[in-house]
Amino acid sequence: MTAASIREARRRLEALQTQVQQQREAALRAAGETGDGSLHDVEWPVAMVPRHRARLRRLAARRKRAFLGRVRALVAAVRRSTADEDERTVDAPAELDETATRVVIATCSACRGSCCGNGGNHAFLRTRTLREFMAAHPALDDNAVVAAYAAWLPENTLQPGCVYQGGQGCTLPRAMRSAICNAYLCGGLRRALLVANHDTRGVFVAHREGERVSGGRLRVLPVLSHG
């Protein structure tokens, strides 16, 4: 990339950001939020993220077979290798505080899991994922490990998408997901998290499609249950 093309890309991004800020202010006015505009960045940060355009469909038997075949192969690979042979590209993420968790839920649900759309029939599982699960459940034999992963497959998934991508988000418990699934935050979400703090009330989620923003909405932060 040349310096000129980087400048041009930056200029386009700034133009897009200005457009989104204007949309946020208009949405806040429409919602009767006429408070101090200088606080809007913190109270209603912008998250410019994609939107996963996928439909909920029955998870095909052929996809299940392909996925469970992969899990079985990973289990076999764990049995014949050691942990220091595992790929270690992602470290455990820092814990998100309560506000950050609420921002993530509000934003990712509006996006409908665009990044999970790449999970296909593999769900990003690695030997490391299976090794950790098997170490935590030493009584399970190979078939029982595969059955444990099979048990969390939903009947219907977003397609295109990951085998675990149900209508309400991921159906696989966090402890069984790959490190990348537990760590990944896209750039638009990370920028929103940088400015969010305990005064944050919601997020203005704008959906980016290439060079365009296809619209946005105010999303009030959800209340977390601690039960």
Query: Judged by CB under 6 A, which stretch of 69-77, 138-146, 158-166, 207-215 contacts ligand SF4?
Result: 158-166
Minimum separation from the CB atom of position 69 to ligand SF4 (A): 17
Applying CB under 6 A, the span of 92-100, 134-142, 177-185, 211-219 interacting with ligand SF4 comes to 177-185
- Within positions 71 to 110, which residues make up the interface with ligand SF4, using CB under 6 A? 107-108
What are the DSSP calls for the chain, one per residue?
A: --HHHHHHHHHHHHHHHHHHHHHHHHHHHHTT--S-GGGHHHHS-EEEE-----EEEEPPHHHHHHHHHHHHHHHHHHHTS-GGGS----PPPPPP-HHHHHHHHHHHHHHT-TGGGG-TTTTT--HHHHHHHHHH-TT--HHHHHHHHHHT--SEEEESS-TTEETTEE-S-GGGS-HHHHH---HHHHHHHHH--TT--EEEEEEEETTEEEEEEEEEPPPPP--
- What are the distances in angstroms from CA 170 to CA 81, 87, 176? 29, 23, 11
Determine the Cα–Cα distance for residues 195 and 191; give it in Å rounded to an integer: 7
Check residue 185 for interaction with ligand SF4 (CB under 6 A): yes
Q: How far is the CB of 35 from ligand SF4 (least distance, A)?
A: 26
Residue with tokens 């355009």: 53
x/- track of binding to ligand SF4 for residues 15-44 (CB under 6 A): ------------------------------
Q: Is 165 in the site for ligand SF4 (CB under 6 A)?
A: yes
Which residue's CB is nearer to ligand SF4, number 100 or number 162?
162
Binding mask 104-143 for ligand SF4 (x = CB under 6 A): ---xx--x-xxxx--x---xx-------------------
| 196 binds ligand SF4 per the rule CB under 6 A | no
Residue 49 makes contact with ligand SF4 by CB under 6 A: yes
For ligand SF4, give the closer residue by CB, 116 or 134.
Answer: 116
Binding stretches for ligand SF4 (CB under 6 A)? 49-50, 107-108, 111, 113-116, 119, 123-124, 162, 164-165, 170, 172, 177, 181, 184-186, 189
